A = this chain, B = another copy of it.
Amino acid sequence: MGRTGVAFKLGVVALAVASASAFAQDEAGAPGVPGVTAGEVADLGLLANNLWILIAAAMVFVMHLGFSCLETGLTRAKNTVNILFKNMMIIAIGLLTYALIGFNLMYPDGNWIIEGWLPAFVPGIGMSDDYDSVGYADGSYTYYADFIFQAMFAATAATIVSGAVAERIKLGSFLIFSAIYVAIVYPIYGSWKWGGGWLDDAGFHDFAGSTIVHSVGGWGALAGVIVLGPRLGKYLKREDGKTVISPIMGHSMPLAAIGVFLLWFGWFGFNGGSVLSADPESVSFVFVTTALAAAAGIVTAMITSQIAQRKPDLTMVLNGCLAGLVGITAGADVISPTGSIIVGGVAGVIVVFSVIGLDRLKLDDPVGAISVHLVCGIWGTLAVAFFAEGKSLVAQLQGIAAAAVLCFPVALLLFAALRFTLGLRVSRAEELAGLDQAEHAMESYAGFQIFSNQ
């Protein structure tokens, strides 16, 4: 970070910058700066494009904070430490396993076991020939920028599951599930489309991952909710035999709202960065469709909630915002602004009914992850066929079905296997005491008087 003291090096930087050559490499003892051929326009494009991908990666990173806040806010105070812990671990495990195996699995670069279906397992990043080359991806961005951006995506899938299984899952079992899901399931599905596999050949369009990221996470969430069962006290049998839904209120609406704002912010990087360049027209366009879909989701969720619940529910509006965002993710690059308002608006309606409907089915999803990510992920994927020109409904359905057929059974299997080995759910006493006490022997809000009979 030195200035004058490293005068000579700065000179090199100035040149290096102009030719987009390697500063770190230079420091690391690389052969030095190659002959500067000024005026290489592509290099300067690389400079801006690569920068945008990195910034977008940092924005996607913020989504993990958003998920943590949202999930914490919508659950009870007695499980707060545990939820924060899980979310902190997921991003760490996500990054490490993706570096170890996931990235190469997802982008096999022609290296398949079964062409288009099963990529080769190649461990470690930075092992491929072009890992140190700025010429990677035809000079659009560097290898490491691509890795970090994709790695931030990867952890998202597991985070989605986290919210749905919160307040009752064993920490260890959840971490094992997450590691396998991020390291293997997500990348294999991803390789079918983004890795150039059969779904890509089929013409499936999923710009930033309504299906590839969100539905994949959503299927895992659904499997987890089914295997785990509802939280104690959520569905109460009355004396007359009927079951009543007893709401388990989240303990901090500010945390939940902060989470959604941060997720929206991160989504500009999630969708905007998925252009994989700083191309002015596309990125600007994606920003607008993303923002309008979220806004529309908020408004329609409010109206739906007002009608269905008589008074508008903040958590429904928060879910509506995310529903709009998940909805537009598949087609943010190809759906017009007007179309994006419709797509987001429909998602905002769907999500409210989905949350209420899943509750009727006794599928206890504390944060609405299934409704937001799975249901609206499917809607968004379909919407591409309806609102963009030249996209095939069949291909979209293929993509959706492929996710269902791959991810849901595998997730079910994983959860079931954990249930019969390590155990999946904490004991009744632990659940009543709260996972903070049971799993961490800690308090989340030391000193605060918290009163709850749930």
Number of residues from A at the complex interface, CB < 8 A: 170
Do B4 and A195 have beta carbons less than 8 Å apart? yes
A24's partner among B16, B134, B299, B333 (CB-CB below 8 A) is: B333
- In this assembly, does A378 line the interface, its C-beta being within 8 Å of a C-beta of chain B? no
Question: Of B23, B25, B272, B448, which contacts A77 at CB under 8 A?
Answer: B448
Contact in complex: A314, B442 (CB < 8 Å):
yes
Answer whether residue A281 sits at the interface, using C-beta atoms and an 8 A cutoff. Answer: yes
- From known contacts A50-B278, A68-B257, A281-B25, infer whether A288 and B144 are also in contact, taking CB-CB under 8 Å: yes
A207 in contact (CB, < 8 A)? yes
When the two chains form their complex, are residues B333 and A138 in contact, meaning their CB atoms are under 8 A apart? Answer: no
- B254 to A95, Cβ gap below 8 A? no
Contact of A85 among B255, B274, B317, B389 (CB under 8 A): B317
Q: Is A35 an interface residue (CB 8 A)?
A: no
Closest B residue, CB atoms, query A64: B261
Roughly how many angstroms separate A96 CA and B321 CA in the complex, as a whole number? 13
Asked, given contacts A200-B2, A294-B92, whether A29 binds B193 with beta carbons under 8 Å apart, the answer is no
Taking CB atoms, residues of chain B closer than 8 Å to A321 are 88, 92
CB-contact partner of A91 in B295, B302, B312, under 8 A: B295
CA distance A279 to B201 in the complex (A): 35
Residues of B within 8 A of A44 (CB): 41, 44-45, 48
A375 within 8 A of B: no
Docked-complex contact A276 and B442, CB < 8 angstroms: no
Q: Which of B200, B277, B298 makes the CB contact (< 8 A) with A23?
A: B277
Distance of A73 Cα from B58 Cα, bound (Å)? 24
Instruction: Tell me if A351 is interfacial: C-beta within 8 Å of chain B.
Output: no
A168 to B124, CA, bound (A): 48
Q: How far is the CA of A304 from the CA of B81 in the complex (A)?
A: 18
Q: With an 8 A cutoff between CB atoms, is A441 at the interface?
A: yes
A-B contact list, 30 entries, CB within 8 Å: A1-B212, A4-B108, A4-B109, A4-B110, A10-B137, A10-B138, A13-B279, A23-B282, A25-B285, A39-B39, A44-B45, A47-B279, A48-B51, A51-B283, A57-B287, A58-B265, A58-B287, A80-B253, A84-B253, A85-B317, A88-B298, A89-B299, A92-B321, A93-B299, A99-B292, A145-B287, A171-B312, A253-B444, A311-B442, A445-B448
The 6 closest A-B pairs by CB, nearest first: A5-B196, A249-B446, A144-B284, A24-B282, A50-B280, A92-B298
